[in-house]
Every structure is written in structure tokens, then in C-alpha cells.
A and B are shown apart, each in its own frame.
Chain A
Amino acid sequence: MGDIWSLRKAISAFKIIFKMNPVEIYSLEDERLKYATKKQELSEKIESIKSFFKSYDLEHAEDLNSWVNSQRKKLAELNVEIDQIEKTQSIEKDKLNDNSLLNEIGSKESVLTKKNEERIYLTNLLENWKKLLNSYKAEREKLFLENTSSNILDTLVFKVCPCCGKDVLKVETKDHCPICKKEYENSGDVDSELQKRLYEVDLKEQELFKLMEEIKDKLSKLNTDIEELNFSVSGLKEQITCQEDRILTPLFAKYRELCIQTGKIQSDIDTKSQIKGMHERVDKMYLDVQEYNRLEKEIESKLKDLQKISKERNNMVLKELRDNFVKILSQLEIDDEYKQNITIDESNFLPKIGDRNYLSVSSGGYKVYFMVSYFIALFETVLKIDDTHHPRLLILDSIHKNISTSHQEDKKSVNILYTKILDLHKTYKNLHIIIVDNELPEFILKDYSTHIMDVKDGLIH
């Protein structure tokens, strides 16, 4: 046909036809390779982690376990101690809160508050009275100025109080000093209204002044009391602080120290636990490696079985092919020299005679015998084995090429080949053999006329 087939494709096709190339083998090979690769990757990972352990002197997970356990025990003990301290702190705080000093402070602060309120009240009152006093003074001055024209000054009689020594306006014959309240004698009369009013204002002013003095005294006493109370409360508070410092501060310091200690231990445990986790992962990795190894071995075993079956079948096919080929050659009475040295080349499934390709030997006529015999043998092998992918179609073009039927031996050989083809057709069903030739054996022309297409007028019109 003039087509050049690549050897690889031809071999693959042959393998496909005879089911000699089970795809399962390659699928299993792929699977095996997958597990082998995974195993390799995991082993490398394990090595890398192990070198890390080695660098930190943490090669043995058991040592790490006992260390972590001891630290956990220690941590538990410290936590108990911390709980104890917390309880003690709580009790001591309660005690301090329940102290009589606090009660005393409370009662004194309450008195202090009241006194402060009183001081504020009195201060405000004093301020108001000052304003009132000023208003009396202003009125008195005003009255005094208004009466200048009537020479009130001349009519007014002032007398020095014999008791307090102050000038007192005389309005009556007998009067009392508005300041010291003692009776003294007037030196003259006051008859004008103005004078009377002046006297009244003066009187009120003097009374107010006296009241203000009293309040000032009270305020002064109050201030002294407040100051004393403040001092007393401060003293009591200081006493409490001293108690707290004495009892709670050392407890708190101890508490803090324990907390720091437990934090450090916990942090160490966490770190080491992580490393322990890595150990566990490595252990799991070892298990995975073992599993991959098991799967790989399982596949290898399956492969081995499959390869053995495949090899047996391949050998059977090749042997069948060779036997059929040699059988036909024997019928053709081909020289034993050739027949004995015939093998089927496993690389291309073609016959070999010794080391040589079967087509490279002998004459053109022999080549035709070899070729036709080989294709008939191939077809017979396919039909015998039956379970193949061959389409049970055979087309042979020009069997008579390079063979002269004028020689009886050649004629006999060609007849043998045609008989072989007829035998196959009789023995096996559902096949199609097409023989194209410029000559046909007489027995074919005679007995198989219905199978002959005579194209003496040409095939294409």
C-alpha cells in the first residue's frame, strides 16, 4: 500500500490486536510509581524533622513526655498555692473592711461633714450680715449729711460711754450704751425726728455688730474642731494603710511571683507540647510510609502476576504464530534451513530467519511465499485464539506475483496457499477474505465461481 508505518505504532497495533499489551499493567505501574513517590517525599520530610529534633536534642518523645508531665504536676501545685493566696487575700480584705478604725473614721467623717455644713451656713450668714451692716452704715451717713443744714451736729449730744469709752449718741436723758448696754446719763435732749432715726439705725448697727462678733467666735471654734477632726481622720486612715501594707502587700507580691512562675511553666509546656505534636506527626508519617510501602508491594505483586499472565499469553501468541507459520512453510516444502531457524521477533512481531528479516532472504518468489504464509498464519492465529481485537478481515494482493505457475512445484505451492485460505474460510465463521490476483488455481475457478469477481473489463468505468 505504500504507507510507511512507524514501528512503534505497528508493535502497539499488534499488541492491541492480540491483547498483549494490557493497559492495566501501565495503570498499575503508574499507581505503583505514585505510591513510591509519596513514600519518597514522606521519608525526606521525616528525615528533615528528625534532623531538627537532633539539633534541639529532642530525639526521644518519651523524655519529652515525662518532662511535660512533671511540669504539669508542678503547675498544678502552683495553682493550688495561688488559690490559697487568693483566699487569704480575700479574708484579710474582709477583716480590714470590718475594722473598728473604719467605723471610727466613718463616725468622725460624719461629724466633720455636719460641722463643715454648719461652717458654710455661718459663713454665708456672716456675709449677709456684713452686707446689712454696710447698708446701716450707708443710711447713717446719708441721714447725717441731710441734716447738716439744721445743724444737727449742734443739737446732738455725744457722750463717751463710761464703760466702753466709745462715743454714744445721746437721745434720752437716761440711756443705755448700745455697745455695753450699761446705763449712763444723757447730757441733753434730742427732739428732732432725724435724730431719732439716726439713733435707731445706730442702735441696730450696734446690735448687728454684736451678733456678728458672736458668730465669728462660733466660726473660729468650728474651724478649730474641723481641723482637729481632719487630723484625727488622717491619722486613722494612715493606720489602716499601714495594716494593709503589712498584711496584703506581701501576699500580693507572692501572688504575682507565682503567676509569673506558672505563666513561664505553661509557656514551656506549650512549646514542648508542640514539639511533642511533631513527634506524633512523625509517628503518623512512619505509619503512612509503611502503608505506602504495603500498597506498593501489593501493586508489585499484582503487577508480577499480571506480567506473568501477560507474558504467558504473549508467549502463547508468539508460539502459535510461529507454529502456524512454520506449518505452512512445511507444507510449501520450504528448505529446512529456513524453517528451523525461524523465530518471531518480539520487537516487531515479524518472522526472523536466524538474525535476518524474513524478507531479506532469498529470491522474490520466496519472499512472496514468506509474506503470504505469514499473513495467513497471522489470520489463523487470530481465528484460533478468537479473543482478539482483530476485525477478521484479510486482504491479500497478488499472490502470484513473482511466481511462475509454469513450474509444477510453484503451482503446487500456490495451490497449497489457496487451499489453506479455503480451509480457514470453511473452519471459521464471520470472516472476510479478499484475494486479488491475476491468476487463480483451477480448482478455485471450477468450484468457487460464485466467489469470483471477474474484472476483465476493468473495475472502474
Chain B
Amino acid sequence: MEKGLNINRIQLRDGKSQIIDNLYRNGLLFVYARTGKGKSLLAKLIYYGLGGSSPPDVSQLNQYDEILLEVNINGTDFVLCRELKRPAAAMYIQEGKLESFRKDDGIKLTLSKSKDPETDFSPHILALLKTPAYVAIPDTITKSSKPSLISFRDISVCLFMAREK
């Protein structure tokens, strides 16, 4: 079984739709443009689509309601769907390609406002990646270990080199 997470396509949609495709390119993609053309937006959209806490704050996105990320996780295609204007709204995941994605058929992952938006979402991706979503963190008071939830965002600390850092 192939192991890993690949990004295939991104679809932004509302009344109209835009697909940013051909992102995999045999595992190597260079996004190239002058400053101000929105190339960093691509990385931010991928990050948000995978469970990041907030969407990119850019005016171009105002016309869209949802972002759909077509990914390949350990050899299987999935579509992840998330609202752009309401980060805490329910997220959906469904096996298959963008064309076959129907929100109603997807697995709905309801997010509560009190929680970190990715709390429910990340374990799902991590489970697909065969990565434990929980880690035992030693409790210095009780001298016992208690499980703590690890999100995909936590994992992404090792995946993303952010420009701001």
C-alpha cells in the first residue's frame, strides 16, 4: 500500500466554481509567480482544507462558500469539504473524486464552537493515515499518563514551512 498524503485538486465553489487542478505532478509542484499573485494562498488553502483553524483572509475568496480538497491518502482518493465563511461549521469527508462528491453522502463531522474547529476533523485524517490521534502525555501531578488528542494541525508543524516564521 502506498503511504502518504498527496494533494490532487482544489475546488472553490458557490454559485460558480473554480477548480485548481493538476497539483500532484508526480509528487513535485513548483508554484511560481511574482509577489501579489496569490501563490501563497494555495498553501494556505491546502492547510485550511486539511483542518487548519482559520481560512486565508483574502478578498478573492469572498465569492466562494466552500473549499473542496481532493486528496489521496495511503492510495485512496478522498474529498474533504469545508465552509470558508464559517470555520466552525460541519465538515465533510467522502471517498472518491471531486466529480462524485455529494455533501449529503459524505461523512459529516460536526464541529462545536467551543472546540477547536479541527478537533473532530483531524482524527479522521490521522486515522486514514494510520497515525494515532491520541498520545499519552504524562501527568506530573498524578504520575499517570492521560491521553491527549493530537490534531492534523499539530502534525503539520513538521509539514509546513510558513513564510511568516
Partner-B contacts on A (CB < 8 A):
1-3, 5, 8-10, 12-17, 21, 23, 25-27, 29-30, 33, 359, 371-372, 375, 378, 382, 389-398, 401, 421-422, 425, 429-440, 444, 448, 450-461
B144, CB-defined interface residue at 8 Å: yes
Contact, CB under 8 Å: A17 / B12: no
Contact, CB under 8 Å: B158 / A17: yes
In the complex with contacts A1-B47, A398-B40, A438-B34, A12-B160 CB distance below 8 A: no
B52, CB-defined interface residue at 8 Å: yes
Q: Mark B14-32, 1 if CB is under 8 A from A, else 0.
A: 0000101011111111111
Contact, CB under 8 Å: B162 / A391: no
Contact, CB under 8 Å: B6 / A432: yes
Partner-A contacts on B (CB < 8 A):
2-7, 12, 18, 20, 22-35, 37-44, 46-47, 52-53, 58, 60-61, 73, 129-132, 134-138, 143-145, 148, 150-151, 153-155, 157-165
Most buried by B among A25, A425, A434, A452: A434
List the B side residues contacting A372 at CB < 8 Å.
Answer: 161
Give me 20 other A-B pairs in contact (C-beta within 8 A), A16-B135, A444-B30 excluded. A3-B53, A9-B148, A12-B137, A16-B131, A16-B132, A16-B155, A33-B144, A371-B165, A391-B131, A393-B6, A395-B46, A433-B29, A434-B7, A435-B29, A451-B28, A453-B31, A455-B31, A459-B38, A459-B42, A461-B60
Taking chain B's interface residues, is the majority helix, strand, or loop, or is none over half, making it mixed?
A: mixed
Contact, CB under 8 Å: B130 / A29: no
* B66: min CB distance to chain A, Å: 14
Contact, CB under 8 Å: B157 / A10: yes
A435 to B161, CA, bound (A): 10
A359 to B161, CA, bound (A): 13
Which 4 residue pairs of A and B lie closest in terms of their CB atoms, listed nearest first?
A: A26-B145, A392-B4, A26-B136, A391-B5
Contact, CB under 8 Å: B159 / A393: yes
A372 to B165, CA, bound (A): 11
List the A side residues contacting B132 at CB < 8 Å.
Answer: 16, 23, 389
Contact, CB under 8 Å: A453 / B30: yes
